[in-house]
Structure 1
Amino acid sequence: MDSLTQIALGSAVGVAVMGRRTAVWKAALWGAIGGTLPDLDAFIDHGDAVLNMTLHRAESHSLIVLTLFAPLLAWVVSRIHGEAALFRRWWLALWLVLITHPLLDTMTVYGTQLLRPFSDHPFGVGSVFIIDPAYTLPLIVGVVAALRLRSARGLAWNAAGLVLSTLYLAWSVGAQHHATQVARDSLKQQGMAADGLLVTPSPFNTLLWRFVATTSTQYREGYYSLLDDTRDVRWTVHDRGAELLTRYRDEPYVARMAAFTHGFFSVSEAEGRLYLTDLRMGQEPNYTFHFDLGTDADRANGGQRPTLNGSRPDIATALPALWHRILGQRPPPAASAAN
């Protein structure tokens, strides 16, 4: 999730666990710090764009590593504030702050490697977008109330914020399950066979869902809003680069992308340059993670490492279109590549 959300969650958890045993501002401050620490790995340069993507949310997001780090951080915090008697409570609070960060990240589609160093499997439920105000705002309101009121009433507001945000995550999983069934029914009714099906929310909400159905040669993209008056899904078909996938399947970066995206990627070629696209984040034709792997000669002599060429839609037009689509208003088929 985004940094603001992780700060808000960390503060809320810290305040909830520490309660009135210490000043609310201390619990909120160290909760915010602990909620931020795992994402500092974003500043590590692993040498190229593909590695930077696939090694983000790795060791710093490992439940094992963070569990081992928690008592050290708690010892530092308890000594700084002269609260050695509260060491165990700080330990519990900061452990929960640290591990809720990757657990929340796992609710997005990106891929969080929770079991490092024993496994590099990227976990991703994909039921919430990386930024979702409906999840974040209750946490912020609860923490601000706790800081301002500094009383049992403030702590109750903070607890309510945590409960509401958690219920929202549960809602997102239920909504995703419903949307998944809609996508499967649509594929079946239209006689489309798919090897893989990805169901993720569109930006900032859990009402409009994006589908990606893959085969060995193509991928289909479709949309469904919970406010649609029909369960019919309009699918657009796109080439996945089957010949290139066969030719370059043993290329290390292609293999890494295949594993990290669970197969939801495409390969393309233009002017002799090979491109890799993560189909999970973005929409046609704009994808966040679109990589230029260079030419065969570049890769053979190590002359070029992958670079990120991702793109985003124009916000001025994308946001109104998103809002209309959430409300169930579909653009004419000829007017848009997506529905």
Structure 2
Amino acid sequence: MDPITQGAFGAVFAQLHGRKKDIAKAGVIGALAGMAPDLDILIRSMNDPLLALEYHRHFTHSLLFIPFGGLIVSLVLHPLLGRRWGLSFLQTLLWCIIGYATHALLDACTSYGTQLLWPLTNTRFSWDIISVIDPLVTVPILVLTILAARRKARGYVFLAIAWLVLYFGFAAYLHERALAEGVKLAESRGLEVVRLEAKPSFANIVVWKIITETKDTFYVDAIKPFGDTPNVWEGQSSKKLDIDRDLPWLDKSSQQAKDIERFRWFSMDYIALDKNNPNRVADIRYSLLPQEIQPLWGIDLSPDATPEDHIVYYNDRGDSRGAVKRLWQMIWE
């Protein structure tokens, strides 16, 4: 999730431990430790644009790395803050480990994919419960964390955790409802489903994106899983990427071909050729509107590239203002 949310999570759980008079200190150290795993964004290459994708949510986000990550952060924060505030190293270390531990578990609640069990497996876990940005997660936790620190009252911490339990529990319930409605929609179309997933749309848990995969096609729809007759916005479909059919010119031994497979792994095999660009492979998991296949990112290939050339990674936000306006309308329909 975004750094503010990660920091708020690290802070609130760190505030559960230690003396009440140190709640503000626990919040600061827990917040910094909670954001620390995302320093993996510094791992990148000028020549290989996919390196950053491979290493984001990689070893720094592994559950097995938590003790080491917490220790590294404490070795930095104790000299900078802990000693100045009269804290023991063990107290700083405890808050750092707690803050660090919240990060990967929170990320896994989104749809992006997190390597929780690296190096045992490079599987990307995504529980699809909340969006990567959700103000109803961030704002209440941030406010309650600050109140706890200012008033040295742990009651606000308990309120924050209670809110998280309720909100995430409700999100998990809606996720199951959306999946069930997605299955009904697929059955009404007579589809032979290979895989079906429900993902929260941008910044909310009201409207869900349903991705239905058959043998050769992806179908994307939006569902609002409330009431006896949920709202359904039937969307678009796209053929799954077939390299022989879609990119017949591609040298299978080239770096571009290898990069497609790396991107396939990152995108959990949700890749298709862009209908508007015959040399662009897109990740269909994410779009501004949940019922559309207008990917936010993907890779560009070139028939003129040398065998050693990498792909070009792109981001495309399109008409974000118009999409947010339409999504807001869908939430309230």
Please indicate, yes or no, whether the TM-score normalized by the shorter chain is above 0.5. yes
In 2, Cα distance between the equivalents of 1:184 and 1:241? 20
Q: Which residue number corresponds to residue 269 of structure 2?
A: 263
Q: CA 1:238 to 1:245, structure 2 compared with 1: closer, same or farther past 3 Å?
A: farther
Q: Which residue number corresponds to residue 166 of structure 1?
A: 165
In 1, Cα distance between the equivalents of 2:111 and 2:96? 25
* One of 274, 279, 287 as aligned partner of 2:284: 279
Equivalent positions of 1:27-42 (< 5 A) are 27-42=26-41
In 1, Cα distance between the equivalents of 2:233 and 2:192? 15
Q: CA 1:189 to 1:65, structure 2 compared with 1: closer, same or farther past 3 Å?
A: same
For each residue in 1:98-120, what CA deviation from the matched residue of structure 2 results, as whole angstroms up to 9, or x when unmatched?
01101100001111111222321
Alignment check: 8 A CA contact 2:236 2:293 kept: no
For each residue in 1:250-281, what CA deviation from the matched residue of structure 2 results, as whole angstroms up to 9, or x when unmatched?
8322222333322212134877x632211112
Q: CA 1:202 to 1:84, structure 2 compared with 1: closer, same or farther past 3 Å?
A: same
Residue type of the partner of 2:259? Y
Flag structure 2 segments of 5+ consecutive residues without an equivalent.
none
Deviates more, 1:210-219 or 1:88-97: 88-97
In 2, Cα distance between the equivalents of 1:301 and 1:143? 53
Q: Which residue number corresponds to residue 323 of structure 2?
A: 318
Give the number of aligned pairs: 320
Flag structure 1 segments of 5+ consecutive residues without an equivalent.
329-339
In 2, Cα distance between the equivalents of 1:234 and 1:11? 39
Cα displacement (A) at 1:35: 1.3
CA-atom RMSD in angstroms: 2.6
Q: CA 1:188 to 1:57, structure 2 compared with 1: closer, same or farther past 3 Å?
A: same
Alignment check: 8 A CA contact 1:216 1:242 kept: no
In 2, Cα distance between the equivalents of 1:15 and 1:240? 49
Q: CA 1:280 to 1:148, structure 2 compared with 1: closer, same or farther past 3 Å?
A: same
Secondary structure at 2:183's aligned position in 1?
A: helix
In 1, Cα distance between the equivalents of 2:220 and 2:190? 15
Q: Which residue number corresponds to residue 239 of structure 1?
A: 238
Secondary structure at 1:198's aligned position in 2?
A: strand
Q: CA 1:211 to 1:270, structure 2 compared with 1: closer, same or farther past 3 Å?
A: closer
Deviates more, 1:55-64 or 1:233-242: 233-242
Q: Which residue number corresponds to residue 114 of structure 2?
A: 112
Cα displacement (A) at 1:157: 0.7
Alignment check: 8 A CA contact 2:60 2:69 kept: no
Deviates more, 1:204-213 or 1:284-293: 284-293
Identity of aligned residues (%): 23
Q: Which residue number corresponds to residue 45 of structure 1?
A: 44
Alignment check: 8 A CA contact 1:201 1:209 kept: yes
* One of 123, 127, 137 as aligned partner of 1:125: 127
TM-score when scaled to structure 2? Answer: 0.86
Secondary structure at 1:193's aligned position in 2?
A: coil
Cα displacement (A) at 1:94: 1.8
Alignment check: 8 A CA contact 1:179 1:199 kept: yes
Cα displacement (A) at 1:49: 2.8
In 1, Cα distance between the equivalents of 2:172 and 2:111? 12
Alignment check: 8 A CA contact 2:212 2:219 kept: yes
Alignment check: 8 A CA contact 1:13 1:96 kept: yes
Equivalent positions of 1:186-205 (< 5 A) are 186-205=185-204
Q: Which residue number corresponds to residue 17 of structure 1?
A: 17
Residue type of the partner of 1:309? Y
For each residue in 1:120-170, what CA deviation from the matched residue of structure 2 results, as whole angstroms up to 9, or x when unmatched?
1111111110000111122111111112212xxx21112211221232112
Secondary structure at 1:301's aligned position in 2?
A: coil
In 1, Cα distance between the equivalents of 2:227 and 2:209? 13
Q: Which residue number corresponds to residue 56 of structure 1?
A: 56
